[in-house]
Amino acid sequence: MPFSTEIFGRVGDSYRLIRNSLRILLGNLSGFDPKKDAVQERETLDQYILAKMAELVKTVREAYESYNFPAVYHALNRFCSVELSAFYVDACKDRIYCDSEGSPKRRSAQTTMFEILDGLVKLVAPVLAFTAEEAWQSMPGGKSTSVHLEKFPEAVMPAQWSDSEAARWEKLLAARGKVNEALEEQRKLKKIGKSLEAKVQIKGGGLAVEDANLLEEICLVSGVEVLGGSGGVEVTVFPANGKKCERCWKHSESVGQNKEHPNLCGRCAEVVLSGSSS
């Protein structure tokens, strides 16, 4: 079996990635009680990540049953790096940090993160026994005395998930990739800095006009206009409308309309005034 400082370093990086993923999920569950705060209805993005989680559970269970531990490692590592860290957690930040504490969208994200955390801790328990136990003891809600007394999670797709929804997400993620490329080009030209300084117009790709809000969320921009149409995706980047909100950092024309909080957008001003900021 080959070994070297480089190999050990890569293994250490993978371990820290999984551990940090658990920490981020735990941090986003601060103040969340699954017994009273969990919700049944989920946002579209939350349904997507739950579908990916179900695929992970299926893959990891099959790998454990055949004693294919490298496959366990690769599946967990890819899910934490690609689906969680590089996508879902970032896309949820606005809901988690800026919506009111008990808003349905925020609770949808927290409920989903709790379910993902619960599943991940159980999946890593056979190979990261102490890390899994540490995370288990830090999780909110009533639970058994040890994660090692729990059953493995089942691979259950979200009730709202379907083949048509999966096909829709292929289009959305393809468009997101094109948007990221266009944003990077504008950064190189020094026309924008952060992605929230931009508004994008998307043509083609079989996208529906109704996808605009979801694309705004997953692309981390301050506005999306979907023109529809088939064929290849074409993206045009514009400076975002309005001023920058000092709380959520999105650009909005509603910034300045609230006299008590002139530097906040309408959403953030309402949350702050209600006293229910998360």
Give the CATH number of the domain where residue 193 resides: 3.30.2320.20
Tell me what pLDDT residue 277 has.
47
- Report which of 211, 218, 21, 32 is spatially closest to residue 108, judged by C-alpha positions: 32
Tell me what pLDDT residue 275 has.
80
Last residue of a domain, one of 122, 149, 176: 149
21 lies in some domain? yes
196 lies in some domain? yes
Query: What global pTM score does this model have?
Result: 0.92
- Going by their DSSP bridges, the two strands 224-228 and 198-203 should be labelled as parallel
CA dihedral 148, 60, 30, 145 (to 10 degrees): -10
Token readout for 20 is 């940090």
Q: Are residues 130 and 168 in the same domain?
A: no
254 lies in some domain? no
Most confident of 140-144, 267-271, 272-276: 267-271
Residue 113 has pLDDT above 80, yes or no: yes
The larger pLDDT score, comparing residue 7 to residue 235, is at: 235
For residues 64 and 202, what is the distance between their CA atoms, to the nearest angstrom?
Answer: 43
Containing domain of residue 110, as a range?
A: 5-149
33 lies in some domain? yes
Q: Are residues 26 and 81 in the same domain?
A: yes
Segment 58-77, tens digit of pLDDT: 999 999 999 999 999 999 99
Tell me what pLDDT residue 10 has.
77
Q: What CATH number is attached to the domain comprising 135?
A: 1.10.730.20
Tell me what pLDDT residue 142 has.
72
Q: Are residues 34 and 97 in the same domain?
A: yes
Write the CB contacts of 5 (distance below 8 Å, at least 6 apart in sequence). Answer: none
Q: Are residues 136 and 199 in the same domain?
A: no
Angle at CA of residue 50, ends 223 and 220, nearest 5°? 15
Q: Are residues 51 and 117 in the same domain?
A: yes
Last residue of a domain, one of 100, 124, 149: 149
53 lies in some domain? yes
Tell me what pLDDT residue 11 has.
77
Q: Are residues 185 and 143 in the same domain?
A: no
Q: Are residues 46 and 100 in the same domain?
A: yes
Phi/psi at 3 (nearest 5 deg)?
A: -150, 150
Segment 132-163, tens digit of pLDDT: 999 999 999 877 899 999 999 999 999 889 99
Tell me what pLDDT residue 117 has.
98
Q: Are residues 72 and 134 in the same domain?
A: yes
Last residue of a domain, one of 103, 120, 149: 149
Amino acid occupying residue 42: R
Tell me what pLDDT residue 12 has.
85
How many domains, in total, are found in the chain? 2
Tell me what pLDDT residue 4 has.
77
Q: Are residues 184 and 131 in the same domain?
A: no
The separation between CA 230 and the C-alpha centre of its own chain, rounded to angstroms, equals 28
Q: Are residues 143 and 174 in the same domain?
A: no
- Going by their DSSP bridges, the two strands 243-244 and 251-252 should be labelled as antiparallel
Helix (H) or strand (E) segment spanning residue 75:
helix 69-78
Q: Which residue has the tokens 């690769």?
A: 74
Q: Are residues 11 and 145 in the same domain?
A: yes
| Environment class of 66 (CB within 10 Å of its CB; exposed 0-12, middle 13-18, buried 19+) | exposed
For residues 269 and 221, what is the distance between their CA atoms, to the nearest angstrom?
Answer: 20
Helix (H) or strand (E) segment spanning residue 202:
strand 198-203
The larger pLDDT score, comparing residue 82 to residue 143, is at: 82
The larger pLDDT score, comparing residue 154 to residue 6, is at: 154
> What average pLDDT score do residues 15-28 get?
96
Helix (H) or strand (E) segment spanning residue 234:
strand 234-239
267 lies in some domain? no
252 lies in some domain? no
Least confident of 69-73, 97-101, 159-163, 222-226: 159-163
Q: Are residues 134 and 25 in the same domain?
A: yes
181 lies in some domain? yes
Strand, coil or helix: 45:
helix
